[in-house]
Structure 1
Amino acid sequence: MSAIPEPKSAEPAASLERPLAGILYLLGATTIFPIQDVIIKMLSGDYAVHQVVFLRSAFALPIVLIISRFEGQLWPLKIGSWRLQLLRGLAAFASYMVYYMALATIGLAETAAITFTTPIFVTLLAVVFLGERIGLFRWLAVIIGLIGVAVIVQPGRGVFEPAAVLALLAAITYAASIIATRKLGHRTNGSTMTVVTLLIYLAAGSSLGVVFSLVDMQSPHPSFAFLFREWKWPDPRDWMLLLAIGVTSALGFFALSQAYRLAEASVVTPFEYTYMLWAVLWGWVFFGALPAFTTWIGLSMIVGAGLLIVFREVARGRRIVRRRGLGVLRQR
């Protein structure tokens, strides 16, 4: 999972001169990351989610270190605040744990659609923790986005799936990690945040592995079975799939870091929504699932709300949005 890339202060002009290249790198990232989701969904019936996160991070870390070294941002480390780094890393870990748990039960498109509400929750949390004020347009976007979630989840109906709540929780906890990133500001950079986050994933994943090896818990629900399962030694085929998860994560990090280094976030962030096209395609190709009509309606409302928030923030001249955006792919 890549981190929010921080443009180097010594080359601000260069970061604004190649928007087309930034968009192409972003499109590369949205092409790569759905492959990761497909593999994790395939493995969700046999392995524990914390084992998958641990191995994914273990495989991604050496590649990320090499990329960060190549970009010249690895040393010296710019921690900024250990407390905020820890909060950010744990929030992101929780986000992707419940995101993967949701994937075990519901489709790629439905899971991704619900988690694309992240900008909405960033907006709401910014009011509480950053003291920002929400104007009429952003309140309208928040309401539209939440209605879109209700259309997809359909609470109170017979088709309601509790795993959809996990996807919503993933959006909320990921928004918390973005708020922590905002508070870190320029005291850190993308490479440092990525390395620290991966180390937190390794520590948290191994800790959960120990806990669930000592506690006998089972559940018939696929999402919670994915959580409660003990670790086991993968077979050769699955080792290759787990390695592929780590490689796609690292390559996605590189593509994202390049995208946000070469162009302002306000330019490339809207293209993150092309992720949904791949989620729909791979969901149909690998799992024979296509989104229901109500999912398309809810997705349209969520995407519209997210874009409205991004463009409204840019129009108000918020530098944090121009540089870092409000998307959902930052730590994948």
Structure 2
Amino acid sequence: MTTPFDSWLFWALLAAAFAALTAIFAKVGIENVNSDFATFIRTIVILLAAGGIVFATGHWQDPLSVSGRTWLFLLLSGLATGASWICYFRALKLGNASLVAPIDKLSVVLVAVFAAVFLGETLSLTSWLGVGLITAGAVVVALGS
């Protein structure tokens, strides 16, 4: 029997909801603090939460069992995440959350392009139309302010 917990869509929708809350909470949270320091605090919270989840679910594994290639790409992913968060918090410090978040979501467009170019993934014409609409929507939101 399949449950919502087995569905990628369920988790993707939760991710989107939490990302939306991230923007709202962060905008309020950075009012009286440097955006880089705010990112540092957020990172500590995430580290503790992720560590707690790994411990609670019993998913800890020996770091030496992880391949060098996996380490490399997880390191690169972590560096990209950190750069994204620093830029995102700086943008929130300087602009309205309702404008920053849609531009940040152009990452959806970039993922589609990068996945096609670097991973060889193929998107249907309908999917590319959706990517184009996301791009157009972000531009309309940005220019509409």
TM-score, normalised relative to structure 2: 0.74
What is aligned with 1:86?
75
Percent of aligned pairs with the same amino acid: 26
Match of 2:30 among 37, 41, 44: 44
**Which secondary structure state, in structure 2, belongs to the residue aligned with residue 75 of structure 1?**
coil
Change in CA separation of 1:113 and 1:57 when aligned onto 2, cut-off 3 Å:
same
What is aligned with 2:110?
121
What is aligned with 2:120?
131
| 1:1-332 alignment, distance < 5 Å | 17-19=2-4, 23=10, 27=14, 30=17, 34=21, 36-77=22-63, 79-80=66-67, 81-154=70-143, 294=144
Distance 1:53 1:60 in 2: 10
Q: Partner amino acid for 2:23?
A: D
Change in CA separation of 1:107 and 1:79 when aligned onto 2, cut-off 3 Å:
farther
Superimposed CA distance per residue, residues 28-52 of structure 1 (whole angstroms, 9 cap, x where no aligned partner): 9826961x43443234343222222
**Which secondary structure state, in structure 2, belongs to the residue aligned with residue 59 of structure 1?**
helix
Q: Partner amino acid for 1:18?
A: T
**Which secondary structure state, in structure 2, belongs to the residue aligned with residue 104 of structure 1?**
helix
Distance 1:62 1:38 in 2: 21
| Paired residues of 1:45 and 1:104 also in contact (CA < 8 A) | yes
Q: Report the Cα offset of residue 65 of structure 1.
A: 1.6
Q: Partner amino acid for 1:141?
A: G
Superimposed CA distance per residue, residues 215-234 of structure 1 (whole angstroms, 9 cap, x where no aligned partner): xxxxxxxxxxxxxxxxxxxx
Distance 1:29 1:147 in 2: 19
What is aligned with 1:285?
none
Q: Report the Cα offset of residue 20 of structure 1.
A: 7.2
Superimposed CA distance per residue, residues 80-125 of structure 1 (whole angstroms, 9 cap, x where no aligned partner): 4222111111111111111111211332233222333332211100
Distance 1:151 1:28 in 2: 24
Change in CA separation of 1:65 and 1:33 when aligned onto 2, cut-off 3 Å:
farther
Q: Partner amino acid for 2:44?
A: A
Distance 2:86 2:102 in 1: 17
| Paired residues of 2:35 and 2:86 also in contact (CA < 8 A) | yes
Structure 1 residue runs without a partner (length 5+): 1-15, 155-293, 296-332
Distance 1:21 1:136 in 2: 28
Structure 2 residue runs without a partner (length 5+): none
Q: Which has the larger radius of gyration?
A: 1
Distance 1:42 1:139 in 2: 35
Higher relative helix content: 2
Change in CA separation of 1:69 and 1:105 when aligned onto 2, cut-off 3 Å:
same
Q: CA RMSD in A?
A: 3.1
Distance 1:131 1:108 in 2: 34
